[in-house]
A and B are shown apart, each in its own frame.
Chain A
Amino acid sequence: MSTLTIDKAGPTRKLGSMSRDRAWALRWSYVFLVLFAIFFLTPPVYMLITSLKSSAEISAATNPWWVFHPTLSNYVELLTSNQFLRFFWNSSIISIVVVIVTMLISIPAAFALARMKFWGSATLATGVFLTYLIPDSLLFIPLFKMLAVIQEFTGVTLLNRWYVLVFIYPTLTVPFCTWIMIGYFASIPKELDEAAIIDGASWLQTLLRIFIPVALPGLIAATIFAFTVSWAQFLYPLVFTTSIDQLVLPVGITTTLIKGDVFNWGQIMTGALLGAAPPLVIYAFLMDYYIAGLTAGATKG
């Protein structure tokens, strides 16, 4: 509103009409944003609505968009069932380990690629980016067969073990994290690390004392990204794990709560909501880092 009054004080008539245009543009923006927000938020809201209903209310022919007799029974049932807690635990431990592994691999690599020009460094940086473009749906069959072959030759059980996923997920997270870390490291002024090297710091000290603290926002963005990707991964665990105690959350909910044609929608929606909760909570607090990470991948060369 303040811009409106300022513009009205403007000298010419032309400016006045412009400000009126702007006010209308703003009003229309809000109208359409509300419509799009409804479209974008309907499924998560509906998840929440359904999760608060009893099975009787779900199958009753009442208005599905409202909860008449809210109950927490779905939450109680899920959170006291061993299965669900097992899935949640598997997902959490895998995601946390994957984040650590990803950081251990991508930070040193990004440092080397951003600062130490060496033979093949440009090719490797491009290669990292290309790897990021290779989807999981291209690699799941050969990886499945590879695990089976290794299992055959060494006798070590790899298929149907959740911890194998810890080795596979970094193929999804490391390329992107390395890529955005290269961007962040490259934006650090050269004088900083040159001064450190002149003062006698080793490469490792330069990395730990200068690059990591200065590029912390980028690091947080990469961490969130790695966590979200490993938490959401569906294809690899679906292919590589089958026993109930080895499943992760997305696969666990879709395979155990749906029995044949019987859908226990109250519990499925509760499970889905609880499964969506960790990324949503992280995002609620660290949205700006998450967005920075998303955009850094494509906007930083």
Chain B
Amino acid sequence: MADVVAEQGRRVSSARPRKATSLRNMLGRKSTVAFLLTLPLILLIALLVLYPAFYSLYLATLNKAMTKFVGLGNFTFLFKRETFWMVVKQSCIFAITAVVFKALIGFIVAHFVHNIPGKKQRKWRGMLLVPWVIPPAMSTLAWLWLFDPSYSAFNYTLSFFGVGPIPWLGDTFWARFSVILVNVWYGAPFFLIMYLAALKSVPDQLYEAAAIDGANWWQKMWYVTLPMMRNIIAITTLFSLIVTFANFDIVRILTSGGPLDTTHLFATWAFQVGIQSSDIPLGACVSLFMVPILAVAAVFILRDVSKRGNEA
């Protein structure tokens, strides 16, 4: 403001009306323009992301009817429930197993696609990315139908190999297997495309140099490809870990947490507790347990991003 006033004073003698000039000066100033351009973004983040996030913390300290402050009562209540620990366990099993398999499949398929000569590559890439494009709620319905107990296409096919009907979604082990399988199916193309982009950015000269030095396939992979891809692998894995950990659609449609709550993740359990049983504070409490994991992953990703920003 100070320099606006100063400028006003200097221009008093000018012929133009004073008010219009100062307004135009202010609008013309870089910081004002920048502020106005980012204002909608700031408002959106503040009102619809930051405020709800803190509001969630407040909600988690109320009793079920939301009339009384109970402090950490909801948290201690959760710690005493067996289902809560099952959800913690299942969320970790689900996220870690799914991310490991997604990363592995993505890595392997990316190499195969990278091997294919130029023109055909586009066609394969297009086909293999389809699971990522279909809305997960829709594709999970197709999986639900494939897993159907009585008319399951999978069980029909398996019966030809003499393998008895598998209770895909009715048995704890198979239900866990199924939700992870669907998540891997949905998420692997994301890794594939990231790794493919990373592979393309490795300069050919490095491989040529390695070949001249007599490096075999494993050595090229270990000393050239992996170090060059390390950043992308780390960032993609961490990012996927966040998304997988917070997954809702797949488990909700496939099992709704069953059998006996054994496939619940934080998100689906929070939905069941908070919305379906209308215990909003407890639901908020459950979903808040995702925060520490998300925060750790975010710190690592951020460190990586800013490191790269400095290099550029």
Interface residues of A (CB under 8 A from B): 3, 25-26, 29-30, 32-33, 36-37, 39-44, 46-47, 50, 58-59, 63-65, 104-106, 108-109, 111-113, 116, 118-119, 121, 124, 126-131, 133-146, 167-168, 170-171, 174-175, 178, 202-203, 228, 231-232, 234-235, 238-239, 249-251, 253-254, 263, 265, 268-269, 272-273, 275-276, 279-280, 283-284, 287, 290-291, 294-295, 298-299, 301
Contact = CB atoms under 8 A, between A and B. Distances in A.
User: When A and B form their complex, which 9 residue pairs have the shortest distance between CB atoms, in order from nearest?
Assistant: A137-B267, A232-B135, A135-B246, A250-B137, A142-B52, A43-B142, A109-B41, A108-B37, A112-B37
Interface of B: 28, 30-31, 33-35, 37-38, 40-42, 44-45, 48-49, 51-53, 55-56, 59, 105, 108-109, 111-113, 115-117, 122, 124-131, 133-139, 141-143, 145-146, 148, 151, 153, 156-157, 185, 188-190, 193-194, 197-198, 201, 232, 235-236, 239, 242-243, 246-249, 252-253, 266-267, 270-271, 274-275, 280, 283-284, 287-288, 290-291, 294, 297-298, 301-302, 305-306, 308-309, 311-312
A92 to B, nearest CB: 13
A171 B253 contact: no
Contacts of B189: 40
Contacts of B42: 124
Contacts of B141: 47, 253-254, 268-269, 272
A296 B267 CA distance: 28
Given A63-B156, A138-B246, A250 B34 contact: no
A32 B112 contact: yes
A301 B291 CA distance: 25
Contacts of B111: 29
B138 A29 contact: no
Contacts of B41: 105-106, 109, 124, 128, 174, 178
Given A43-B139, A43-B142, A168-B48, A33 B56 contact: no
B33 A58 contact: no
Nearest to A1: B117
A298 B195 CA distance: 11
Contacts of A272: 138-139, 141-142
Contact of B128 (A37, A46, A105, A294): A37
23 contacts: A33-B112, A37-B124, A40-B127, A40-B130, A43-B146, A44-B131, A44-B134, A108-B40, A109-B38, A112-B34, A116-B37, A131-B45, A135-B246, A146-B51, A146-B52, A203-B30, A203-B33, A279-B135, A280-B130, A294-B193, A298-B232, A298-B235, A298-B239
A284 B270 CA distance: 36
Given A44-B130, A112-B33, A234-B249, A141 B287 contact: yes
B222 to A, nearest CB: 17
B134 A37 contact: no
B232 A299 contact: yes
A41 B145 contact: no
> Which of A33, A40, A203, A263 has the most chain B CB atoms inside 10 A of its CB?
A40
Contacts of B126: 284, 287
A248 to B, nearest CB: 10
Contacts of A136: 246, 248
A294 B266 CA distance: 26
Given A140-B271, A268-B145, A109 B37 contact: yes
A133 B115 contact: no
B125 to A, nearest CB: 8
Contacts of A121: 34
B275 A144 contact: yes
B287 A280 contact: no
Contact of A59 (B129, B151, B275): B151
Given A29-B112, A112-B37, 4 more contacts: A33-B124, A137-B247, A171-B44, A203-B37
B37 A269 contact: no
Given A43-B146, A291-B129, A295-B194, A142 B56 contact: yes
Contacts of A167: 48
A139 B56 contact: yes
B182 to A, nearest CB: 9
Contact of A139 (B49, B197, B201): B49
Contacts of B125: 287, 291
Given A29-B115, A124-B42, A43 B137 contact: no
B215 to A, nearest CB: 12
Nearest to B250: A234
A127 B291 CA distance: 16
A135 B294 contact: yes
A47 B153 CA distance: 12
B171 to A, nearest CB: 19
B34 A134 contact: no
A78 B282 CA distance: 39
A251 B275 CA distance: 15
B133 A280 contact: yes
Given A116-B34, A135-B290, A138-B290, A40 B194 contact: no
A203 to B, nearest CB: 5
